[in-house]
Amino acid sequence: MVVNNKVSTKYYSNSIMGFLVICLQLLPTLSFTSFLFGDSLVDAGNNDFLFTLSKADSPPYGIDYTPSGGRPTGRFTNGRTISDIIGEALGGRSSSPPFLAPNSLTSAIENGVNYASGSSGILLETGSLFIGRIPLEEQVKYFEQTRSYMVNRMGERDTSKLLRNAIFSLTIGSNDILNYIEPSIPFFGQEKVEPSLFQQFMVSNLTMQLKRLYELGGRKFVVVGVGPLGCIPFVRAIRLVSGHRCSVEVNELVQGYNKRLDLEVDHLNKEMGPEAVFVYANSYKIFLDIIQNYHHYGFQNGKDPCCGGYIPPFVCFKGKDANTSSNLCQDRSKYVFWDAYHPTEAANLIMANKLLDGDEAIASPINVRELYNHEL
């Protein structure tokens, strides 16, 4: 009888375990789908398919990007972008492919699509010096094409349901400000408008595209502010800022824009909530803290580019030999800046983690992980 009881117990235990496995397989999983809009900070290769002077399609770009085996992918850094890291943390099976890549729409339902383009901006004129780029308005039009494809595949009801839970991320505005501070790039004719008017023009145009994405089904938005551009190597060079100092004038221009954008995001939450959530991501605060306290974060250099230098045209490239190649730092994980404009993967990792789990000083009204888990 004792033996029979043991066998019986083992049988029922195995049956219960088998039942639990089947149940877990049948339970729906919360997948991560994202639609990314922006500039070179999050470009995953769209500019590789354009005739443009703004490209990251040659070594040493991508040298630390594991999925490609260290080959360039069109990302303007040595490894992963902030969007790549956040996607991985939230369970993304793979990064959202660039829209212009062949067959990118086939992964739209599972992974989403990346529409970001290096040198692009909120305003149509931004980046014209680089010739080819995809301005924000055009990126949103590309999303309309993606949505039409999804409706044809899934139907309107299922498409709306998927978009309701997807993350719409907008990381753009840096190039607009960089173009504004460069005297050779005219805006609105030959004369620049006043800074306050320029900032408001940026915000109003960005808001217009956010509302368009809402009309197309977006409900969860991450709107990333502009970082401390006065501290990047390119601006410090053209503004002749020495040491570890930053350009106060440029950072004040950025902060003025960010303040207006933060207020607009708050207004959108009041206007469209609770049907939609707009998160303002304070990248300025995060990145400035990294630059000012780089030793605390494990960096050895918080002002110089790992690749290239301060001398125009500020390029990062690998030639046939050392004499024809840009200078490249030995340990990329110890540098905040990859080139004269962009952070290293190490800096991106810190920023991504703070956006994922930071408090309201970093992301408001909720952080990115909370937005992902938020039920509408």
43 carries an active-site annotation: no
Q: From the candidates 34, 40, 174, 364, which is the catalytic residue?
A: 40
Q: From the candidates 39, 48, 176, 339, which is the catalytic residue?
A: 339
Three-state secondary structure readout of the chain: CHHHHHHHHHHHHHHHHHHHHHHHHHCCCCCCCEEEEECCCCCCCHHHHCCECCCCCCCCCCCCCHHHCCCCCCCCCCCCCHHHHHHHHCCCCCCCCECCCCCHHHHCCCCEEECCCCCCCCCCCCCHHHECCCCHHHHHHHHHHHHHHHHHHHCHHHHHHHHHHCEEEEECCHHHHHHHHCCCCCCCCCCCCCHHHHHHHHHHHHHHHHHHHHHCCCCEEEEECCCCHHHCHHHHHHCCCCCCCCCHHHHHHHHHHHHHHHHHHHHHHHHHCCCCEEEEECHHHHHHHHHHCCCCCCCCEEEEECECCCCCCCCCCCCCCHHHCCCECCCHHHEEECCCCCECHHHHHHHHHHHHHCCCCCEECCCHHHHHHCCC
Q: From the candidates 39, 48, 342, 364, which is the catalytic residue?
A: 342
342 carries an active-site annotation: yes
374 carries an active-site annotation: no
Catalytic positions: 40, 339, 342
